[in-house]
Amino acid sequence: MGAAFFYHLTRRPLEATLPMLLEKARAAGWRVAVRGVDAARMEWLDEKLWLGPEEQFLAHGLAGAPNAAHQPILLTTAPGAAPNAAECLMSVDGAPVDPGEVQRLERVCVIFDGGDAAAVDQARAQWRALTQAGCRAQYWSEASGKWEKKAER
């Protein structure tokens, strides 16, 4: 049974934080699905990942593209199982996470923008829903300038 890790962005934007989390997931040997709610936003993230530093290249693709099932990192808007057999799910922009996914996968990351009140409210609702369903969860904040675990259930 996995756990949900909530990442509260307060200092760096998603496009700076996501590659770091993806590198950690890949270092653990996990295939990753990055789930968003808007296809255009996922295309934007795809472009940001391609434009990153060459030494930090993260092989990835968009759902629906040829060979999507072979991608170690797949950007998608579809709920449920990712076609790349992901072991880790990263939810961005308030994308839904089901308690069954947390229990089935190695890790679920909920990444949310601390400068967006609606995103914070959505993350709090997800925390409550997942922990009430019996999922383990951790809350991480970068408010001090480095990532620190602030809560665990």
pTM: 0.95
Residue 12 confidence (pLDDT): 94
Question: Could you tell me whether strands 61-62 and 73-76 are parallel, antiparallel, or unpaired per DSSP bridges?
Answer: parallel
For residue 82, what pLDDT is reported? 81
For residue 43, how many C-alpha atoms fall within 13 Å in the half-sphere facing its CB? 5
Give me the pLDDT at residue 24, please.
96
Low-confidence ranges of the chain (pLDDT < 70): 52-55
CATH tag, 3-152? 3.40.50.10110
Q: How far apart, in whole angstroms, are the C-alpha atoms of residue 108 and residue 106?
A: 7
**The predicted structure's pLDDT at residue 53:** 66
Distance in angstroms (rounded) separating the CA atoms of residues 95 and 115: 17
